[in-house]
Amino acid sequence: MTAHLPIPDAGQLGTGLPGTVLWMRALLTLAYAGVPALLVAVSVWRAAHQARRDVPDVVVSRVRAARLTGLGAGLILGIAAVWSGQALLTPAAVAAGYLFGVLLAELLGAPRPSGSLRIASLQTRRIRSYLPVWSMPVALCAAVLAIAAPVILAMLPAVRYGSPAAGDQGSGLTLPAAALHWPVAACVPLAVVAVLGLAAGGLALRRAPWLPPVTPGQPEVDERIRRSAARAVAGAVIAIELFVLAAEAILASDGLAVPAPVNGHLYLGSRIFVWSGISLAAMAVAVWCRLGRWKGTLASLPAATRQD
């Protein structure tokens, strides 16, 4: 899979501009990896600051370190993706690193209670009670579309065009005959990432409601911690699926990228794919940050407001 924005090599640019390729890759790194990572890092720090009012500092520090470490690992993966020519995979790689940071350090690596701490609860814990009602449908719908995209594109007919250009018969403008192909092969790795992200998210969500208690005699604080972990996982999973879907939409624009004079409708469809991909990526970052916010305890929230 190659990035939608082709990166010419130094030979194409000429010997007088040896740094242009580096600048282009640096800009792609900033746009595809740096901006999402920075926004999410700010969200993590803000959530940690808010959580200190309710949760012991040692727990807040551990959770913050887990999420920022995962985000840093994802950022490294994203930079590697840009410099290996897989730029459209970069945002999903950043989100995947964050997800595995939450899973390994915050959930699986959570310290077990020691000493004489014994707490029994008759409350039935369901993962849906920790998440907004819209989060799981959004994640599943985005995942289904992202996974099915290669199959859908493989079933579409190729777009062919030739000369003379439509609407320019009198101008003498001619275009060579060509056929555009849908980027089926390029979307397969993205679909694999969507499957892996959904599987890892499912494993993490099953673990979140059973985090061990850390505050004796304050079960409502433990519930806040579990809810925060579940929302962080859901935000990362939705981000991965939307990032993958965004990349597939941008790639799919190549299947309709005819010159504007040939067919204005097809050219418009190509631009719609591009801007849809950009919009999906922006939505992914927004949802990721939103679900990373610190929320109040479940018991203190009215039922009508829990969907947020």
Where do the domains of the chain lie?
Answer: 14-110+132-303
Mean local confidence (pLDDT), 166-174: 46
Higher model confidence: residue 299 or residue 146?
Answer: 146
Over the stretch 91-150, which tens digit does the pLDDT of each residue have? 999 999 999 999 988 888 766 655 544 454 545 668 888 999 999 999 999 999 999 999
- The answer to whether residues 238 and 276 touch, using CB atoms and an 8 Å cutoff, is no
Query: What pLDDT is attached to residue 282?
Result: 96
- Of 18-22, 38-42, 302-306, give the lowest mean pLDDT range: 302-306
Taking alpha carbons only, the member of 90, 103, 285 closest to residue 193 is 90
Query: What pLDDT is attached to residue 306?
Result: 45
**Distance between CA atoms of residues 100 and 134, nearest Å:** 23
Query: What pLDDT is attached to residue 58?
Result: 87
User: What DSSP letter does each residue of 209-252 carry, written as one string?
Assistant: GGPPP-STT-HHHHHHHHHHHHHHHHHHHHHHHHHHHHHHHHHH
- pLDDT above 90 for 23: no
Strand, helix or coil for residue 191: helix
Mean local confidence (pLDDT), 166-195: 74
**Distance between CA atoms of residues 283 and 39, nearest Å:** 13
- pLDDT above 90 for 234: yes
Query: What pLDDT is attached to residue 209?
Result: 86
Q: Quick one: what percent of the chain has pLDDT higher than 90?
A: 49
Cα 247 to chain center, whole Å?
A: 10
Query: What pLDDT is attached to residue 123?
Result: 57
- pLDDT above 70 for 307: no
Cα four-point dihedral sign 49, 52, 54, 60: positive
Both structure tokens of 11: 């030979």
- pLDDT above 80 for 167: no
- pLDDT above 60 for 170: no
Q: Output the pTM of the full model.
A: 0.83
Taking alpha carbons only, the member of 64, 107, 133, 63 closest to residue 308 is 133
Q: What is the mean pLDDT of the chain?
A: 82
β-strand partners of 178: 161
> DSSP letter at 34?
I
Over the stretch 249-276, which tens digit does the pLDDT of each residue have? 999 998 888 877 677 788 899 999 999 9
Query: What pLDDT is attached to residue 217?
Result: 72
**Distance between CA atoms of residues 47 and 29, nearest Å:** 26
